[in-house]
Amino acid sequence: MTTRPIITLPDEKTLRQVSKPIAQVDAATRALFDDMLETMYAAPGIGLAAIQIGVPLRALVIDLSKEGEDKRPLFVANPEIVASSAELSDYEEGCLSIPDYFEMVQRPREITVRYRDRNNEAMELQATGLLATCLQHEIDHLNGVLFIDHISKLKRDRVLKKFQKAAKLGKL
């Protein structure tokens, strides 16, 4: 397992790519999952999409376990949200690709996701709460969408300018 660099703003060109489907979860995909998990734990974070390490494939990892608990990683290839509730939830979201910025985002409270697991098995998962939010956040990444796209244009523009300025000053 290798810890890889995480792509951050202002690199929107990479982060806005739409990721391609994985033909089959194989040894190469499992190695990618392992690197993603290692990178996510090192950051630290609770979710990571492959595009965040510069790999435009529809793969993501999530682990909502708390410090001191056994790790419970979820490996997801080719996720598709097949149902979502009309009821919404608000969560303060952050992102490893937008460091040190957090904002309230409203998303469906419950979702159903179809995907392939680490063994290429077809799976379906009903998720609520933080897991539902995290899955939607990471699936957005696979579609070239950032969580700041769910906030006001004014706030989004401020965040983008902040990261562009920091990059110009060599502070990233």
Task: Please state, in angstroms and rounded to a whole number, the distance separating the CA atoms of residues 25 and 167.
Answer: 36
Mention every residue, 6+ apart, whose C-beta is less than 8 A from residue 86: 108
- Residue 135 near residue 113 (C-beta atoms within 8 A): yes
Residue 40 to residue 46: CA distance in whole angstroms: 7
Whose CA is closest to 1, among 46, 27, 34?
34
Helix (H) or strand (E) holding 112: strand 110-116
138 assigned to active site = yes
Gyration radius of the chain's alpha carbons: 16
Catalytic member of 38, 69, 121, 138: 138
Whole-angstrom CA distances from 96 to 23, 28, 83, 115 are 27, 24, 27, 23
Task: Give the residue numbers annotated as catalytic, written as ranges.
Answer: 138
